[in-house]
Amino acid sequence: MTTTLPTTKTRRLPLVTYVLAAGVFLMGTTEFIVAGILPEIATDLGTSVANAGLMITVFAVGMIVGTPTTSILTLKLPRRLTLSLALVVFAVGHVIVALTADFTLILGARFLTALATGAFWAVAAVVGAKAAGAASASRALGVVLGGGMLANVVGVPLGAFAGQAIGWRGPFWILAALALVGAVAVYRLVAADPASGHTPSVRAELASMRDSRVWLVLAGCAIVCGSSLAAYTFISPLLTENTGLAAATVPLVLMAYGVGAFIGSTLGGHFGAHRQYPALFIAAGMTFLVLGALFLFSHYALVTVVLIFLLGLFGMATNPILIGKAVGYAGHAPTLASALSTSAFNLGTAVGSWMAGFALESSLGASGPVLVGTGVAAVYLLPLTVLMLKDRKEGALA
């Protein structure tokens, strides 16, 4: 009699995972491309660098407000239609930015683009997690969110190069065109919703938020992004004023951050399937230490570049784990939890970049935003500890 032993072969992720990652790549590029070309934007529009940074803050606010709102409004729509429409609206917002010189209108268009981005991210996370299955959900989310991290490796630096070479509006035209192509691809390649199965319900989505662990995850999402993005939003002045690097080298340093973020997101998704809390606590502690070191040693070029790489590595490693936990706690009604995770990330980005803008104009100068990020990072351990204790009580500790 022959006994067949179970295999430990890793299940291959479905194609839709990578399609969604490509869409998130575009979204991630537009959210942070401004960070690499802030001086060019400020000069062209006749405003200060700190004021131009509002293009990032307003985008984050749009995602905070728009992500849960659009997720509920589109709950009854086929998910592939929601994803495709989000990319079309995304393209329209970019065309407006590329055409106008009115800063108020530009901020409005960034807000519109953020609404579309939030809708896409929330639905993409749910589709990606469900398509991969419970056992591979965290890994799939690592790949989908890795599209945003890859944007920091490729999209943001290339956008910064293009912005310096052909004008800051050029990257917005390119992103608009790619989004329209992406809308067609997503509609054709994302599977239609099954005819039978769980029926989306606003009441069920709201009920899924009763678990206090979801809110602890959301607090963690806000804090981790608030700490990292406070420093990252104003990375250009830090590099040119403190470190003494030429503006032309800024995209290369952004690429180093992006490489770290991509690796961190991928590893976070991998470890999130098996050892969630060790990964969360190590990443939290290292983010705090890296930001503190960056504040102290930003006048040394090589050290600064290494620390920015590490900031991407540890600062973004927890994102797929946190979203995976929020979706898991929500059970059969995960859309709102996923949407609020995205909102929480951007709440942290908005508050962090807003506080960092004040710090930039203080006596601390370019070091101010990094100090803000360090202070925010110190708070991260609190919700993680409470969440771990609650999971231990529920018997769900990983």
| Cβ-based neighbours of 165, under 8 Å, separated by 6 or more | none
Residue 256 pLDDT: 87
Residue 290 forms part of a structural domain: yes
Residue 247: give the domain boundaries: 15-192+202-394
Residue 3 forms part of a structural domain: no
- Residues 12, 131: Cα–Cα separation, whole Å: 11
Residue 60 pLDDT: 78
The token duo for 23 is: 């869409």
Residue 2 forms part of a structural domain: no
Residue 223 pLDDT: 92
Q: In this structure, are residues 369 and 233 in contact, taking their beta carbons and an 8 Å threshold?
A: yes
Residue 9 forms part of a structural domain: no
C-alpha separations of 171 from 84, 118, 371 in Å? 21, 20, 31
Residue 5 pLDDT: 37
Give the chain's radius of gyration (CA, Å): 20
- Residues 380, 259: Cα–Cα separation, whole Å: 23
Residue 112 forms part of a structural domain: yes
Number of domains in the chain: 1
Residue 197 pLDDT: 56
Query: Which domain CATH number covers 260?
Result: 1.20.1250.20
DSSP letter string, 366-379: GGHHHHHHHHHHTT
Residue 179 forms part of a structural domain: yes
Comparing C-alpha atoms, which of 89, 93, 98, 121 is closest to residue 108? 93
Residue 173 pLDDT: 93
Q: pLDDT tens per residue, the chain (398 residues)?
A: 444 434 444 567 777 788 888 888 888 888 778 877 888 888 888 888 878 888 888 887 887 888 888 878 887 788 889 899 999 999 999 999 999 889 999 999 999 999 898 888 878 877 777 766 666 666 777 777 778 777 767 887 788 888 888 888 999 999 999 999 889 888 887 777 665 555 666 777 777 788 888 899 999 989 988 898 888 888 888 998 988 888 888 878 888 888 888 888 878 877 776 788 888 999 999 999 999 999 999 999 999 999 999 999 998 888 888 887 887 787 777 778 877 887 888 788 878 888 888 888 888 888 999 999 999 999 999 999 999 998 888 765 65
